[in-house]
Amino acid sequence: MSNFSTGKNEALELDRRDPLARFRERFYLLSGKIYMDGNSLGLLSKDGEESLLRVLNQWKQLGIDGWLDQDNPWFYYGEKLGAMQAPLVGAHEDEVVVTGSTTVNLHALVGTFYQPEGRRTKILADKLNFPSDIYALKSQIRIKGLGPSENLVLIKSRDRRMIEEEDIISAIERGSGEIALILLPAVYYRSGQVLDMEQLTAKAHQYGIAIGFDCSHSIGAIPHEFDRWGVDFALWCNYKHMNAGPGSTAGLYVNRKHFCRTSSLAGWWGYRKDKQFDMLLEFEQAPGVGGWQISTPQILSTAPLEGSLKIFAEAGIEKVREKSLKLTSYLMFLLETEGLTKPPYNYRIGTPKDPKRRGGHVAVEHDSAASITKVLKKRGIIPDFRPPDIIRLAPIALYNTFYETWQVVEALKEIIDGGEYEQFENVRDTIA
Ligand SMILES: *Cc1c(COP(=O)(O)O)cnc(C)c1O
């Protein structure tokens, strides 16, 4: 961290030496804005636009025959993009499929892997996960005829920012005879903390418990090694760091050792592909991860991911991670070195300093975070706000610059110096 310096010219120099700088022009940047919200909705790439337009053209020119078009058949699109996405999670090609949506995939996988039996009836999760995941877990417990209040164990945070791996491990050890399943996020949506998935997987398996991860905030931001770690299952959305568009088709991973399991939400798209159109009433699940698909894929909401995956293959996730860490380190360095974490500024950094524990964004906390977010937006800087006091800033390796990061910190300083934020109410908008 101390290798940085605070000047504007040094920021520009960092951009000149950035090996990923050329990818910025592959994206549609918002004119006159500094976009720091790629962890909520990634920007459209020209590659993503191209793959979407190709699919639209197939529809225009082929109609129904698009499903079995020679070059790019939609019939195999979920499997094809799954194979392209597999390197981002360290999986075999037949272990990843692009399908459905995040919360639906969570239901499909938890339904499969949560098999309460005897005293083992509990799901272990945590209090800082994204609410949708918790709603889904409670409903999965109810579907099995059990009560969420007794069977959903939520690990508490010590500081409202992080969940210590140590605390997860002691919860596993304490409840080992009663826990049937563990579901955790890979990166926390508020603080950006990364969990040590390898260590937690090993610990879960030591007690014979299946473990899955929601990678919505980690996919496209950090590398994963699911196969090597032996993770049982995972799921993620593709509209955050993956840049595949609002509500784009999501992804899921099932470890090969579980291909013998049956999907809990069967549908004809999970049928053996060679026999799917025999239209038999007896379900025969596809042999790989494809068996967890449910419905006809939303081809138009899937297509931008193809272009995006080409960019990731070209840039390399290791390089993306390296630059991302450098950007977030630089952001935190500027905040501290410019005195913004002291009076009268009083910003707080709510993200781990240790690069191993830090995902792709920085949580900057402030008592007036909601009104400061509004001033940032008025100034053309797009962060997002998470209650009660977090301004999330995500400098994205593929399209943000060090100079933009420098400008954002300058703005955070000026907003306090000029008292601008005091003109705005400290409450959030409907979509923050
Ligand atoms: C973004 C996100 C979701 C979103 O769920 P959808 O079903 O896509 O609306 C769910 N869980 C986590 C952890 C997320 O970060």
The residue range of the domain holding 233 is 52-313
User: Pocket of ligand 1, candidates 106, 132, 238, 361: which has the most ligand atoms within 8 Å of its Cβ, to mutate?
Assistant: 132
- Domain assignment present for 179: yes
88, 224 contact by CB (below 8 A): yes
Residue 72 and residue 70: Cα distance in Å, rounded?
6
Helices (H) and strands (E) in the chain, counts: 13, 13
**Residue 283: per-residue pLDDT:** 93
**Residue 432: per-residue pLDDT:** 64
- Domain assignment present for 45: no
Please provide the average confidence, as pLDDT, over all residues in the chain. Answer: 96
**Residue 428: per-residue pLDDT:** 74
Q: What is the pLDDT of residues 283-315, one digit of tens each?
A: 999 999 999 999 999 999 999 999 999 999 999
Residues 149, 258, single domain; the answer is yes
Calculate what percentage of the chain has a pLDDT beyond 70.
99
Residue 185 Cβ contacting ligand 1 at under 6 Å: yes
- Whole-model pTM over 0.95: yes
> Does residue 49 register a pLDDT over 80?
yes
Maximum alpha-carbon separation in the chain = 71
Residue 393 and residue 384: Cα distance in Å, rounded?
7
Q: Which atom of ligand 1 is nearest to the CA of 216?
A: 15
Give the relative orientation of helices 369-378 and 402-417 as an angle to the nearest 10 degrees: 120
Q: What's 277's domain CATH number?
A: 3.40.640.10
Residue 133 Cβ contacting ligand 1 at under 6 Å: yes
216 three-class SS: coil
**Residue 299: per-residue pLDDT:** 98
**Ligand 1 centroid to 216 CA: how many Å?**
6
Residue 317 and residue 332: Cα distance in Å, rounded?
22
**Ligand 1 centroid to 114 CA: how many Å?**
20
Residues 229, 135, single domain; the answer is yes
Residues 242, 337, single domain; the answer is no
Domain count, the chain: 2
DSSP state of 129: S
Residue 7 and residue 412: Cα distance in Å, rounded?
16
Residues 348, 309, single domain; the answer is no
User: Hey, whose CA ends up nearest to atom 1 of ligand 1?
Assistant: 216
Phi, psi of 371 (to 5 degrees): -75, -35
Residues 137, 283, single domain; the answer is yes
Q: Which amino acid is at 293?
A: Q
